[in-house]
Amino acid sequence: MKIVAVIPAYNEEDRVVSAINDAVRFVDAVVVVDDCSADRTAERVRSVGAFLVRHSVNRGQGAALQTGTDFALRFLYPDVLVHFDADGQMAGEDIPRLVQPILENQADVVLGSRFLGSAVSIPWTRRLLLKAGILFTFLVSGLWLSDTHNGFRVLKAETARRLRITLNRMAHASEIIDLIAAQKCRVVEVPVTIRYTTSTLEKGQRSLGSLRVILDVVKGQFFK
């Protein structure tokens, strides 16, 4: 069973190496997609020898994730793909737990859930918005999940081939769930730990960014 981690990265020169080293303990290879970073993210990735794919124009996390997926499927022949963040919020130790339902053929997609696990130091405003996101996702996709905006997910390679992300920016998380529902994939949620720090909160989605996500999802529905 070959497991490949796909890590989209944008201006993460300070954190990407530790994220790679964290993930690589539990996967067979790591693919980092540098989304036209202005800093030395790419150099840092090269220094540790992970597979590197570079966008020449910044396209967003969703686009970077799809590019990394395409690279892995085309050149690395994985059985399982792991979506992992470059900012150190996710814990590599959770990867085996996410992969397990796929190994046991209980799921096509496994989604990490911080509300089944733990969301360390999550601000209450963020928690409230994420809860609202659960309702929004249910209205759009019909799937009732405990955590709908968690980038920590594992997919069977053949499932990843069918789920093509077209929304470039943060709305891709909602789109993936929509695609999972449309393709009738077997979904399992697994508790994961997401660590919030001052730097990740500063860089992460602003609360107002949620409005942008909703707009992008609605636009995606209109302009398919």
Partner 1 sequence: MLFQIFLIGFAVWLIGRVSRQYSLRKIQLSWFLLWTIFSVGIIVVALQPGLTDRLAGLVGVGRGADLVIYVSLLLLFVAIFRHASHLHRLERDLTDLVRSLALRDAKDENFNHEDSPSDSGLSAAAGRNWSDRS
Please identify, using beta-carbon distances, which residue of 36 and 122 lies nearer to partner 1.
36
Q: At closest approach, how far in Å is the CB of 98 from partner 1?
A: 17
Question: Residue 98: which of 152, 20, 170 has the closest Cα?
Answer: 152
Please identify, using beta-carbon distances, which residue of 49 and 123 lies nearer to partner 1.
49
Q: At closest approach, how far in Å is the CB of 53 from partner 1?
A: 4
Query: Angle 41-48/16-24 helices, nearest 10 degrees?
Result: 30
Q: At closest approach, how far in Å is the CB of 24 from partner 1?
A: 5
Please identify, using beta-carbon distances, which residue of 169 and 186 lies nearer to partner 1.
169
Q: At closest approach, how far in Å is the CB of 37 from partner 1?
A: 13
Q: At closest approach, how far in Å is the CB of 17 from partner 1?
A: 11
Please identify, using beta-carbon distances, which residue of 8 and 117 lies nearer to partner 1.
8
Q: How many residues does the chain have?
A: 224
Element containing residue 200 per DSSP (H, E): helix 198-203
Chain positions contacting partner 1, by CB under 8 A = 2, 20-21, 24-25, 27-30, 33, 48-57, 59, 63, 66-67, 70-71, 74-77, 166, 168, 219, 222-223
* Cα–Cα distance measured from residue 195 to residue 188, given in angstroms and rounded to the nearest whole number: 22
Please identify, using beta-carbon distances, which residue of 127 and 219 lies nearer to partner 1.
219
**DSSP three-state, residue 207:** coil
Extract long-range pairs of 14-19: CB within 8 Å, 24+ residues apart.
Answer: 15/86, 15/87, 15/88, 15/199, 16/41, 16/44, 16/45, 16/86, 17/44, 17/45, 17/47, 17/48, 18/88, 19/84, 19/85, 19/86, 19/87, 19/88, 19/90
